[in-house]
Amino acid sequence: MIDGPRPIEVLLVEDDPGDVLLTTEAFEHNKVANTLHVVDDGEQAMAFLRREGEYAEAPRPDLVLLDLNLPRKDGREVLSEVKADENLRSIPVVVLTTSEADEDILRSYHLHANAYVTKPVDFEQFVSVVRRIDDFFVTVVKLPR
């Protein structure tokens, strides 16, 4: 038996290179052993999740960190498709976005987001948020295999 939680596969869907860098650094700073995969638009996210095209060999993510404002297919559309797909709906989706708009929060939960987190602009706060997400989904929550 392995002690401690197993590393998880995390799909980050984020088009802002700065936010990708911040998230990557936060994982490294927290010594998070999880594998972080990154795609930068909604079309790529769905291809990754469905293991299509260049993502045919992609692992099934245990967790999706999803920005709302994405090119080609926005995060709301991705969230809607994921939660409507019988093969994908069990994957927890955390909306990680800059928007604090009540409309975005409400709509995300109506689309069955598992959590809605507003990105802090301060690096240390951002690291703390990523750590809390990691702690919750890796050590507290039981994820489907």
Confidence of residue 124 (pLDDT cuts 50, 70, 90): confident
Q: What is the per-residue pLDDT across 73-119, written as a single tens digit (0 to 9) for each? A: 999 999 999 999 999 999 999 999 888 999 999 999 999 999 999 98
Q: What is the Cα–Cα distance from 32 to 105, expressed in whole angstroms?
A: 27
The dihedral sign for the CA sequence 131, 18, 14, 6: negative
What CATH number has the domain bearing residue 76?
A: 3.40.50.2300
112 within a domain of the structure (yes/no) = yes
Domain-embedded: residue 142? no
Q: Report how many domains make up the chain.
A: 1
| 143 occurs within a structural domain | no
pLDDT in tens, 29-83: 666 567 889 999 999 999 999 999 999 999 999 999 999 999 999 999 999 999 9
Q: Is residue 9 part of a domain?
A: no
Whether 1 is covered by a domain: the verdict is no
Top-confidence residue, 13 or 98? 13
In a domain, 115, yes or no: yes
Of the candidates 114, 144, 115, 135, the one whose C-alpha atom is nearest the C-alpha of residue 27 is 135
- Let me know if residue 69 belongs to a domain: yes
Domain that holds residue 101: 14-136
Sign of the torsion angle spanned by Cα atoms 111, 116, 121, 124: negative
Q: Is residue 7 part of a domain?
A: no
